[in-house]
Chains A and B, each alone.
Chain A
């Protein structure tokens, strides 16, 4: 069971079309930003970060309900590049993990 869950999660991070499936959305209503696949769009639901990190994320437009697109990850897989509105922002996975999103 757990194994199947992880497998599905893996699929999701790799390909985008899974995001679009409404079926999927019902099954996984909440994701963290790291689980969003390349090229996918999602909406911010809430932050679980504190203090400076939270403030910086809010300053850069990661406000609740904002639309975010996963653009790419760096060569070694860590910092992520995201599009928020009309600009591009980089984020480490550690911080992205603290943002709950819902697929758009």
Chain B
């Protein structure tokens, strides 16, 4: 490897809120991509740019406060530095909190990387009355220090030059790490021990090649678990070295009455303080920072909740309500795609389509359903980006942390719950996506697994149906019940999960920096919104296609029994015969003598009608006419009738078409009843009867797993006695209910189960994406099913036994759930007593 490499790789490291991502955007522009670090769900953001010499690859490391091994992000960042060995590290620092930033810089310097420091947001620091002498700082640190303002693009050129200069100090992949800088932190009293351990470490050639030794020695004295692992992997006499380290640490503790780890931190902090004293000129006396003045209002003990509710309402209104309206604009585009695909595929049969056609359209429909949410997501993600960039997100977490804390959750669980639809409806998919920012692993998983209980928009139709039929008198109570019981149940489940199966998960203390308020930049917000939406489209889109096939098969096969099919064919034949009789006096009768001709006419008439409907202008409409006339000269007069005969045919054709589409709908829906899912529904009846569900309800519930919206449609098929008398589904269910004994209590059990119902297909896929494991995805399906069934069965069976009515059962259950939730909130969190195993063995105090 030559000393002037053309293509280099830069690691972008820094603390949270230092403006790392704005610097990243400034350097790389639009050339970015997101991937995952192997084996973890932490995003790996990469990008590149070209300078005079060649290509520069920039990898954005997770924002961390330091480089220990306590949190996932820190481990990811550190592993990347040690394994991939970037040619230089760009350390971004918030100029207004230089002291803490330097604390991080020292750790990167100790790892012997060529470092360039981007002293970001110097304008904010200067406005606060802190002028930093960056040249002096550079001299003291022995690295390039470039003042930048990421938001305004200031310092871009200088940074690129400095990175080139730093990367020129090349290191061979196999060569040992060497100190590159003037600065070396003096650990004073500990130096002798460090030197002794350093000597022991040099014994191992492998270790010399793979890690910087002084850093390693310091880490071992800090009792760092990952450093120990590295030592065990590379050093032949690892055990004896560890014993020596432990002995030295104990000696030090005895002598100085402070643990080496604390002493090291204190040394770093003292050095940082002295650098700050030398390089920072305070131009204004101790003033209250601007953000603090805002916080005196926004975080005022009494007003804070009001501002929070307003913000939440605004997000809900703008994204869910307005975004939903926007989908009316985008839906025609998606429908157009479907029409085009439908046109390419083989023509539809009279009653049943070919596999190719029905399956392809099924896929297009599944993908369209998901793409339909894109406008909502774009707005939502833009708003979230604004909240994050402005700094208010951290304040939301601050205000609500106490509530969530009682249930093992975290302040930052708020947003996912809001998106999931706490109040009137939302969608769990963006809700689960928003869990990304939760630093506490246990809370994050608990949030992911409880967000699907929120009221998703697609659950509303079934609730409305059941409430209208069975609880007409108590409508508002039921709606209040439904919207609050979900959050109560979610809290109960969160508490149950965090104190049982999630109890061993890593928890993080709620120690969070309260960032300064910043004005978000338009490009930053848009980029983040588009990035996240794109990830959604890509990830959900690809998996959905695969899963849609499986669901299709389970819903379509083995298909209708022959006698049912024969029955439908008979009805279709009757309709065609009737059609022929009606038109036999017209001159077109010969033209439509054979069945294929009738089918062609039906299909062409359908596509013609759709084309005419989507033609928005007069010219477009005429163009459609011309096209169809050219394509089908013989039957065109029937499509656009001009004489009396043609008009007669057209009228009868419409009747025939309606009959055909009715039959097709019935067949499609009855296929579901006879499908594998239908069979499962019947097989489950012995179990679900305790919850009051018969096989029809089972089938509706199972099929709604693919998409919630279908539950009402499926129920429509199942309660189809009376469909001929054009009764509404409400009336039909009511009548059938009288016959089968379906009471309000049955309906209540069903509502309860539906509220706890497993997440829909898209959501389970999101669970997979966000947890990175199929195990949790399966859990998110199986647990709510069993739990929901248990709760519904319990309520139904006990209420039946006690002879309670539906509304009495509701009140009873509500009070019970509320009481349980309140009682659970007082239960101490297991993590408060026993430290989670992920935390290193306790050091003595």
Contacts and interface: CB of A to CB of B under 8 A. Distances in A.
B402 interface: yes
A50 B398 contact: no
Given A50-B839, A58-B262, A63-B269, A79 B100 contact: no
A17 interface: no
B360 interface: no
B512 interface: yes
Contacts of B304: 74-75
A56 B842 contact: no
Nearest to B128: A86
A20 interface: no
A50 B838 CA distance: 12
A51 B100 contact: no
A88 B70 contact: no
Main secondary structure of the interface of A (DSSP, over half): mixed
Interface stretch (B336-344, B503-511, B621-629, B764-772): B503-511
Interface string B805-845: 00000000000000000000000000010010011101101
A63 B70 CA distance: 17
Given A51-B70, A60-B65, A72-B301, A92 B401 contact: yes
A55 B68 CA distance: 8
A90 B68 contact: no
Contact of B840 (A51, A60, A73, A74): A51
B66 interface: yes
Interface in A58-88: 58-61, 63-66, 71-79, 81, 85-88
A91 B398 CA distance: 9
B514 A50 contact: no
Interface residues of B, number: 49
B96 interface: yes
B305 A91 contact: no
Interface residues of A, number: 39
A61 B100 CA distance: 7
Given A51-B839, A60-B65, A89 B514 contact: yes
A90 B514 contact: yes
A95 B399 contact: no
Contact of A60 (B411, B513, B838): B513
B513 A88 contact: yes
B379 to A, nearest CB: 29
B17 to A, nearest CB: 9
Nearest to A84: B100
Interface in B392-406: 394, 397-399, 401-403, 405
A94 B828 CA distance: 12
A48 interface: yes
B70 A75 contact: no
Interface in A17-55: 46-48, 50-55
A57 interface: yes
- For A53, A58, A59, A64, which residue has the most chain B Cβ atoms within 10 angstroms? A59
B398 A74 contact: yes
Contacts of A48: 845
A94 B829 CA distance: 12
A63 B509 contact: no
A57 B99 contact: no
Contacts of B397: 90
A75 B302 contact: yes
B239 interface: no
Contact of B103 (A47, A50, A59, A91): A59
Query: 5 closest Cβ contacts across the A-B interface?
Result: A51-B839, A78-B402, A76-B402, A88-B514, A59-B65
Interface of A: 46-48, 50-61, 63-66, 71-79, 81, 85-92, 94-95
18 contacts: A50-B845, A52-B71, A52-B839, A52-B840, A53-B509, A55-B68, A59-B65, A61-B99, A64-B262, A65-B266, A74-B304, A79-B398, A79-B510, A81-B514, A86-B99, A87-B514, A88-B291, A92-B510
Given A63-B269, A79-B510, A86-B96, 12 more contacts: A52-B839, A55-B70, A58-B262, A59-B65, A61-B100, A64-B266, A81-B299, A87-B100, A88-B291, A89-B512, A90-B394, A92-B511
